[in-house]
Amino acid sequence: MPIAKPGYRLFYIDNLRWSAISLVVIMHAAVTYSPFGSWYYREHPELGLGAKFGFAAYQSFQHAVAMGLLFGIAGFFAAGAIARKGAGAFMRERVRRLGLPLLLYMTVIGPLTEYFVAGSWQSNPPRTFMQDWWLHLRSGELLDESGPLWFCLVLLVFSAIYAALCQVRPVRLVPRQPPSTGVVLGYAILIAIVTFAVGAAFPDATTVLNIDVHDFPQYPFMYAAGIAAWRADWLRQIPWRVGRRWLWAGFVAGGALWIVLLATGGAMSGDVSAYRGGWHWQAAGMDAWRSFTCLALTLGAITLYRECFNSQGALASFLTRNAFGVYVLHAPILIAVTRLLHDWPASVGIKFAVAGIGGVVFSFLLVGFVAQRTPGLRAVL
């Protein structure tokens, strides 16, 4: 089937991006009910071994792939944008597109979410919202209010670095053969080594400005891979049979390796500390698994969407237009959905499914039909 070259609208990348953002919403719904992860509002229900394993599997695979995929897509479009507009115009657009939503979230949406929706700003004696907001502003704690928009903060930094580099070496489209299996595996090993080194050097580090220190090394590597993919025109050239093999490898080989790591590393007995960093073979194994799974499933997903989802009707076009707005605004919407479901006497699995699907649907509807029609918000989203 004919595939548009870089510079034309790549519908399959648009479809992949709104799909990945929808999965971010579902991921946060999973964190609400599972024992793993961090989120504004969590319920901590009693879970059996099967439910814990199910949440762990879903969250581990999505954690390994989703954000790396979004950084790769961002790098791909950054290379094309700089080639068309130049570095200066690109950075002005990035500051508006990323900096303004980040500022809005840190100063307004995040605090409102914490105080009114999640109820996580609790003071004794109780204070009004403006009192709490002013206290957080004076103490500098608003810098930690980026929430899920830490992605915009990191992407803004990457954009500035890349724009500066492009002033020295202009961007050119020079088609080359896609990387071989050995090159992809070598890149995965490189990401794993750097990730393990960071985890070993900072074993007690958790987050800085909501950015997970141990996970961070994956992001610049994936952003750089996206840039390389645009410059070499790789996405158009990767054969479907190759992408299909990577997709199967990510799920089958990746799934088998993940189970082996959990079964032999102590996770099944409840001890997961060695997987989080430090000089532990469990941490090295999990970093290698995460890097391999990210690249394998990213390549597989890109070729799958290119072959099967490279067009858009009215619904997909609506989802594409509002995907970024959903990323910005989904936190208070999802939290409201999960709190409304709190007293529902249903199983955790059903509540998670309803919350995840409901969070995605309501987020897109509210962004598309309310936020995008609200002066001020429309300009930011």
| Cβ-based neighbours of 264, under 8 Å, separated by 6 or more | none
Residue 186 vs residues 123, 179, 303: alpha-carbon distances, Å: 51, 10, 20
Q: Which amino acid, one-letter code, is at 130?
A: M
How does 112-144 read in b/e, with b if 16+ C-beta sit within 10 Å?
Answer: bbbbebbeebeeeeeeeeeebbeebeeeeebeb
Q: What are phi and psi of 219, to 5 degrees?
A: -70, -50
Peptide bond before residue 203 is cis, with ω within 30 degrees of 0: no
Global pTM value? 0.94
pLDDT tens, position by position, for the chain (381 residues)?
334 444 457 999 999 999 999 999 999 999 999 999 999 999 989 999 899 999 999 999 999 999 999 999 999 999 999 999 999 999 999 999 999 999 999 999 999 998 889 887 777 778 888 988 888 888 777 777 889 999 999 999 999 999 999 988 877 778 889 999 999 999 999 999 999 999 999 887 788 888 899 999 999 999 999 999 999 999 999 999 999 999 999 999 999 999 999 999 988 887 788 888 889 999 999 999 999 999 999 999 999 999 999 999 999 999 999 999 999 999 999 999 999 999 999 999 999 999 999 999 999 999 999 999 998 888 888
Reduced to 3 states (helix: H, G, I; strand: E, B; else coil), residue 346 is coil
**In the chain, beta strands by DSSP E:** 207-208, 211-212
- 76 and 229 Cβ atoms separated by less than 8 Å: yes
